[in-house]
Amino acid sequence: MARKEHVSETPATQLLRRHGVAFTEHVYDYVEHGGTAESSRQLGVDEHAVVKTLVMQDQDAKPLVVLMHGDRQVSTKNLARQIGAKKVEPCKPEVAQRHSGYLVGGTSPFGTRKEMPVYVEETVLQLPRICINGGRRGYLVGIDPQVLVALLKARPVQCASVD
Protein backbone atom coordinates (compact mmCIF):
# COMPACT_ATOMS: atom_id res chain seq x y z
CA MET A 1 0.00 0.00 0.00
CA ALA A 2 1.57 3.28 -1.11
CA ARG A 3 1.73 5.91 1.57
CA LYS A 4 -0.83 8.60 1.00
CA GLU A 5 0.44 12.10 1.30
CA HIS A 6 -1.76 15.12 1.29
CA VAL A 7 -0.67 17.82 -1.11
CA SER A 8 -1.59 21.40 -0.37
CA GLU A 9 -4.52 22.73 -2.34
CA THR A 10 -4.03 23.75 -5.96
CA PRO A 11 -6.48 25.69 -8.15
CA ALA A 12 -7.41 22.27 -9.61
CA THR A 13 -8.24 20.60 -6.29
CA GLN A 14 -10.08 23.72 -5.11
CA LEU A 15 -12.28 23.57 -8.22
CA LEU A 16 -12.93 19.83 -7.79
CA ARG A 17 -13.85 20.27 -4.11
CA ARG A 18 -16.06 23.28 -4.88
CA HIS A 19 -18.03 21.10 -7.32
CA GLY A 20 -18.19 18.14 -4.94
CA VAL A 21 -16.09 15.87 -7.17
CA ALA A 22 -14.72 12.80 -5.41
CA PHE A 23 -11.03 12.26 -6.18
CA THR A 24 -8.06 10.30 -4.88
CA GLU A 25 -4.61 11.83 -4.51
CA HIS A 26 -1.51 10.16 -5.97
CA VAL A 27 1.89 11.62 -5.14
CA TYR A 28 5.08 10.50 -6.93
CA ASP A 29 8.63 11.77 -7.36
CA TYR A 30 8.57 14.12 -10.33
CA VAL A 31 11.27 13.36 -12.91
CA GLU A 32 12.12 16.02 -15.52
CA HIS A 33 10.91 14.74 -18.95
CA GLY A 34 9.70 11.50 -17.29
CA GLY A 35 6.13 12.11 -18.42
CA THR A 36 3.31 9.64 -17.93
CA ALA A 37 5.66 6.65 -18.29
CA GLU A 38 7.38 7.72 -15.07
CA SER A 39 4.23 8.55 -13.07
CA SER A 40 2.49 5.33 -14.14
CA ARG A 41 5.58 3.26 -13.26
CA GLN A 42 5.93 4.84 -9.81
CA LEU A 43 2.21 4.64 -9.02
CA GLY A 44 1.67 1.19 -10.53
CA VAL A 45 -1.08 2.49 -12.81
CA ASP A 46 -1.61 1.55 -16.48
CA GLU A 47 -0.14 4.39 -18.56
CA HIS A 48 -3.23 4.24 -20.81
CA ALA A 49 -5.30 5.46 -17.82
CA VAL A 50 -2.89 8.30 -17.00
CA VAL A 51 -4.19 11.26 -18.98
CA LYS A 52 -1.86 14.03 -20.07
CA THR A 53 -3.00 17.65 -20.33
CA LEU A 54 -1.58 19.35 -23.41
CA VAL A 55 -1.91 23.08 -24.08
CA MET A 56 -1.97 23.68 -27.83
CA GLN A 57 -2.95 26.52 -30.12
CA ASP A 58 -4.64 26.98 -33.48
CA GLN A 59 -3.47 29.02 -36.47
CA ASP A 60 -4.64 32.24 -34.74
CA ALA A 61 -2.64 31.39 -31.59
CA LYS A 62 -5.91 30.73 -29.70
CA PRO A 63 -5.13 28.25 -26.91
CA LEU A 64 -6.93 24.96 -26.37
CA VAL A 65 -6.47 21.95 -24.12
CA VAL A 66 -6.18 18.37 -25.35
CA LEU A 67 -6.53 15.44 -22.96
CA MET A 68 -4.81 12.29 -24.25
CA HIS A 69 -3.93 8.81 -22.99
CA GLY A 70 -0.40 8.81 -21.56
CA ASP A 71 0.72 6.12 -23.99
CA ARG A 72 -0.58 7.88 -27.13
CA GLN A 73 0.39 10.93 -29.15
CA VAL A 74 -1.96 13.57 -30.57
CA SER A 75 -2.40 13.73 -34.33
CA THR A 76 -2.58 17.51 -34.70
CA LYS A 77 -3.83 17.07 -38.30
CA ASN A 78 -6.81 14.97 -37.17
CA LEU A 79 -7.51 17.31 -34.29
CA ALA A 80 -7.43 20.42 -36.51
CA ARG A 81 -9.81 18.79 -38.99
CA GLN A 82 -12.29 17.83 -36.25
CA ILE A 83 -12.36 21.23 -34.57
CA GLY A 84 -12.47 23.22 -37.82
CA ALA A 85 -8.99 24.75 -37.46
CA LYS A 86 -6.46 25.17 -40.26
CA LYS A 87 -3.73 23.84 -38.00
CA VAL A 88 -3.03 22.96 -34.37
CA GLU A 89 0.38 22.88 -32.73
CA PRO A 90 1.73 22.56 -29.18
CA CYS A 91 2.32 25.86 -27.37
CA LYS A 92 5.85 26.70 -26.29
CA PRO A 93 6.27 25.85 -22.57
CA GLU A 94 6.30 29.50 -21.43
CA VAL A 95 3.16 30.24 -23.49
CA ALA A 96 1.38 27.14 -22.13
CA GLN A 97 2.31 28.26 -18.61
CA ARG A 98 0.91 31.74 -19.22
CA HIS A 99 -2.41 30.32 -20.46
CA SER A 100 -2.81 27.60 -17.83
CA GLY A 101 -1.17 29.20 -14.80
CA TYR A 102 0.61 25.89 -14.17
CA LEU A 103 4.22 24.83 -14.60
CA VAL A 104 4.74 22.45 -17.54
CA GLY A 105 4.77 18.96 -16.04
CA GLY A 106 2.15 20.08 -13.52
CA THR A 107 -0.59 21.26 -15.88
CA SER A 108 -4.12 20.34 -14.89
CA PRO A 109 -7.17 20.99 -17.08
CA PHE A 110 -8.99 22.09 -13.91
CA GLY A 111 -8.64 25.61 -12.54
CA THR A 112 -6.67 27.07 -15.44
CA ARG A 113 -5.87 30.77 -15.39
CA LYS A 114 -7.52 31.29 -18.78
CA GLU A 115 -10.69 29.55 -19.87
CA MET A 116 -9.89 27.42 -22.91
CA PRO A 117 -11.88 24.93 -24.97
CA VAL A 118 -11.10 21.35 -23.86
CA TYR A 119 -10.97 18.36 -26.20
CA VAL A 120 -10.66 14.80 -24.94
CA GLU A 121 -9.69 11.68 -26.88
CA GLU A 122 -13.07 9.88 -26.88
CA THR A 123 -11.63 6.54 -25.69
CA VAL A 124 -10.50 8.25 -22.44
CA LEU A 125 -14.20 8.62 -21.57
CA GLN A 126 -14.67 4.83 -21.83
CA LEU A 127 -12.21 4.12 -19.00
CA PRO A 128 -13.68 3.36 -15.56
CA ARG A 129 -11.21 5.74 -13.86
CA ILE A 130 -8.36 8.01 -14.89
CA CYS A 131 -5.40 9.71 -13.23
CA ILE A 132 -4.83 13.28 -14.36
CA ASN A 133 -2.58 16.07 -13.15
CA GLY A 134 -3.81 17.74 -9.98
CA GLY A 135 -2.04 21.05 -10.61
CA ARG A 136 1.48 20.32 -9.40
CA ARG A 137 4.47 18.33 -10.62
CA GLY A 138 4.48 14.89 -9.01
CA TYR A 139 0.76 14.96 -8.19
CA LEU A 140 -2.10 13.19 -9.94
CA VAL A 141 -5.75 12.94 -8.97
CA GLY A 142 -7.87 9.88 -9.69
CA ILE A 143 -11.35 10.72 -11.02
CA ASP A 144 -14.23 9.37 -13.05
CA PRO A 145 -13.51 10.49 -16.66
CA GLN A 146 -17.11 11.74 -17.04
CA VAL A 147 -16.07 14.65 -14.78
CA LEU A 148 -14.14 15.99 -17.80
CA VAL A 149 -17.39 16.43 -19.72
CA ALA A 150 -19.52 17.52 -16.77
CA LEU A 151 -17.10 20.11 -15.38
CA LEU A 152 -14.94 21.17 -18.34
CA LYS A 153 -17.48 20.64 -21.13
CA ALA A 154 -14.73 18.59 -22.79
CA ARG A 155 -15.61 17.70 -26.38
CA PRO A 156 -14.81 14.13 -27.44
CA VAL A 157 -12.54 13.89 -30.49
CA GLN A 158 -10.62 11.14 -32.27
CA CYS A 159 -7.08 12.42 -32.46
CA ALA A 160 -4.82 9.68 -31.10
CA SER A 161 -2.15 9.04 -33.69
CA VAL A 162 -1.74 5.45 -34.71
CA ASP A 163 1.94 4.56 -34.50
Domain ranges of the chain: 11-157
- What's residue 110's pLDDT? 98
Residue 117 above 90 pLDDT?
yes
Question: Is pLDDT of 138 > 90?
Answer: yes
Question: Confidence band (pLDDT; 50, 70, 90) for 7?
Answer: low
CB burial class (10 A; 0-12, 13-18, 19+) of residue 59? exposed
CA–CA dist 31, 68 (Å, integer): 20
Cβ neighbors of 92 (< 8 A, separation 6 or more) are none
Out of 3.40.640.10, 3.90.960.10, 3.30.200.20, 3.40.50.10470, select the CATH number for domain 11-157: 3.90.960.10
* Of 70, 2, 64, nearest in space to 38 by CA: 70
Residue 3 has pLDDT above 70, yes or no: no
Reference 71, options 39, 42, 100; nearest CA is 39
Mean pLDDT value across the chain = 94
Confidence of residue 8 (pLDDT cuts 50, 70, 90): confident
pLDDT (tens digit per residue) in 31-89:
999 999 999 999 999 999 999 999 999 999 999 999 999 999 999 999 999 999 999 99
Using only C-alpha atoms, the chain has a radius of gyration, in whole angstroms, of: 15
